[in-house]
Chains A and B, each alone.
Chain A
Amino acid sequence: MSNLAQIFKNQKVFIPFIVADDPDFETTVKNITALAKGGADIVELGIPFSDPVADGAVIQQADLRAFEAGVTTQTVFEIVAAARKETDVPLVFLTYLNIVFKYGYARFLKKCQQLGVSGLVIPDLPYENRDEIVPLAAKYDVDIIPLITPTSGQRIQKIAKAASGFIYVVSSVGITGERDSFFAGLSNLVAEIKEYTDVPTAIGFGIHTAQQAAEMAKIADGVIIGSAIVDIVAKEKTNAPQALEKYTQEICTALRTKVEQ
Chain B
Amino acid sequence: MKLKNEQEQKVKAGRYGKNFGGQYVPETLMTELEKVNKVFNELKDDAAFKAELHELLNNYANRPSLLYYAKNMTEDLGGAKIYLKREDLNHTGAHKINNVIGQVLLAKHLGKKRLICETGAGQHGVATATIATLMGMECEVFMGEEDTKRQRLNVYRMNLLGAKVKAVTTGSRVLKDAVNAALQDWASRSEDTFYVMGSAVGPAPFPEMVKHFQSVISKESKKQLQEQAGRLPDMVVACVGGGSNAIGSFAAYIQDPTVKLVGVEAAGKGVQTDKTAATIERGTVGIFHGMKSMFMQNEDGQINPVYSISAGLDYPGVGPEHAALAECNRAQYVGITDDEAVAAFDYIAKEEGIVAAIESCHAVAYVQKIAPTMAKDQIIICTLSGRGDKDVASIAKYKGVQIDE
Contact with B along A124-163 (1 / 0, CB 8 A): 1111110000000000000000111111111100010000
B27: chain A residues at CB < 8 Å are 123, 126-127, 146-149, 151-152, 155, 159, 170
CA distance A129 to B15 in the complex (A): 12
CA distance A125 to B30 in the complex (A): 10
The reply to whether B189 and A173 form a contact with Cβ atoms under 8 Å apart is: yes
A126: chain B residues at CB < 8 Å are 23-27, 30
The reply to whether A51 and B28 form a contact with Cβ atoms under 8 Å apart is: no
Instruction: Mark the stretch among A14-22, A94-102, A184-192 that contacts chain B.
Output: A94-102
**Is A73 on the interface with B (CB-CB < 8 A)?**
yes
Which residues 55-91 of B have a CB within 8 angstroms of A? Answer: none
Instruction: Count residues on chain B whose CB falls below 8 Å from chain A CBs.
Output: 34
**Is B7 on the interface with A (CB-CB < 8 A)?**
no
The reply to whether A175 and B187 form a contact with Cβ atoms under 8 Å apart is: yes
The reply to whether B189 and A50 form a contact with Cβ atoms under 8 Å apart is: no
Contact with B along A7-46 (1 / 0, CB 8 A): 0000000000000000000000000000000000000000
The reply to whether A99 and B188 form a contact with Cβ atoms under 8 Å apart is: no
B184: chain A residues at CB < 8 Å are 53, 174-175
The reply to whether B301 and A53 form a contact with Cβ atoms under 8 Å apart is: no
CA distance A129 to B30 in the complex (A): 12
The reply to whether B171 and A50 form a contact with Cβ atoms under 8 Å apart is: yes
Q: Of B30, B170, B187, B286, which is within 8 A of A98 by CB?
A: B286
The reply to whether A174 and B286 form a contact with Cβ atoms under 8 Å apart is: no
CA distance A199 to B187 in the complex (A): 26
**Is B22 on the interface with A (CB-CB < 8 A)?**
yes
Q: Which DSSP category, helix, strand, loop or mixed, fits chain B's interface?
A: mixed
The reply to whether B24 and A50 form a contact with Cβ atoms under 8 Å apart is: no
**Is B277 on the interface with A (CB-CB < 8 A)?**
no
The reply to whether A101 and B31 form a contact with Cβ atoms under 8 Å apart is: no
**Is A72 on the interface with B (CB-CB < 8 A)?**
yes
**Is A182 on the interface with B (CB-CB < 8 A)?**
no
**Is B300 on the interface with A (CB-CB < 8 A)?**
yes
Q: Of A101, A125, A151, A154, which is within 8 A of B286 by CB?
A: A101
The reply to whether A54 and B286 form a contact with Cβ atoms under 8 Å apart is: no
When A51-B171, A97-B287 are in contact, do A173 and B301 touch as well, CB less than 8 Å? no
The reply to whether A129 and B301 form a contact with Cβ atoms under 8 Å apart is: no
The reply to whether A102 and B301 form a contact with Cβ atoms under 8 Å apart is: yes
**Is B20 on the interface with A (CB-CB < 8 A)?**
no
**Is A49 on the interface with B (CB-CB < 8 A)?**
yes
B32: chain A residues at CB < 8 Å are 151
The reply to whether B24 and A124 form a contact with Cβ atoms under 8 Å apart is: yes
CA distance A159 to B28 in the complex (A): 13
**Which residue of B is nearest A72, CB measured?**
B300
Closest beta carbon of chain B to A20's beta carbon, Å: 12
Instruction: Count residues on chain A whose CB falls below 8 Å from chain B CBs.
Output: 37
The reply to whether B24 and A102 form a contact with Cβ atoms under 8 Å apart is: no
Contact with A along B5-37 (1 / 0, CB 8 A): 000000000000000001111111111100000
Closest beta carbon of chain A to B144's beta carbon, Å: 13
**Is B332 on the interface with A (CB-CB < 8 A)?**
no
The reply to whether B26 and A53 form a contact with Cβ atoms under 8 Å apart is: yes
B297: chain A residues at CB < 8 Å are 98, 102
**Is B288 on the interface with A (CB-CB < 8 A)?**
yes
The reply to whether A102 and B300 form a contact with Cβ atoms under 8 Å apart is: yes
Closest beta carbon of chain B to A52's beta carbon, Å: 8
Q: Of B177, B188, B302, which is within 8 A of A49 by CB?
A: B302
Contact with B along A54-75 (1 / 0, CB 8 A): 1000001000000100001100
Closest beta carbon of chain A to B133's beta carbon, Å: 27
The reply to whether B31 and A152 form a contact with Cβ atoms under 8 Å apart is: yes
Of A72, A97, A146, A174, most B-chain CB atoms within 10 Å: A174
B394: chain A residues at CB < 8 Å are none
CA distance A103 to B299 in the complex (A): 8
Q: Of B190, B287, B300, which is within 8 A of A124 by CB?
A: B287
The reply to whether B22 and A175 form a contact with Cβ atoms under 8 Å apart is: no
**Is B183 on the interface with A (CB-CB < 8 A)?**
yes
The reply to whether B303 and A102 form a contact with Cβ atoms under 8 Å apart is: no
The reply to whether B25 and A99 form a contact with Cβ atoms under 8 Å apart is: no
CA distance A189 to B171 in the complex (A): 35
The reply to whether A173 and B190 form a contact with Cβ atoms under 8 Å apart is: yes
**Which residue of B is nearest A146, CB measured?**
B27
Q: Can you name 10 extra interface pairs (CB under 8 A) apart from A129-B24, A152-B31, A155-B31?
A: A50-B303, A51-B176, A51-B303, A53-B25, A103-B300, A126-B24, A126-B26, A151-B29, A154-B31, A159-B27
Shortest 6 CB-CB contacts between residues of A and residues of B: A102-B301, A174-B188, A98-B301, A50-B302, A147-B27, A50-B303
Please report A residues at the B interface, Cβ cutoff 8 Å.
49-51, 53-54, 60, 67, 72-73, 97-99, 101-103, 123-129, 146-155, 159, 170, 173-175
Please report B residues at the A interface, Cβ cutoff 8 Å.
22-32, 170-171, 176-177, 180, 183-184, 187-190, 286-290, 295, 297, 299-303
Q: List 15 A-B contacts (CB under 8 A).
A: A49-B301, A50-B171, A53-B26, A53-B184, A97-B24, A101-B287, A103-B300, A123-B26, A129-B22, A149-B28, A151-B32, A155-B27, A170-B27, A173-B187, A173-B189
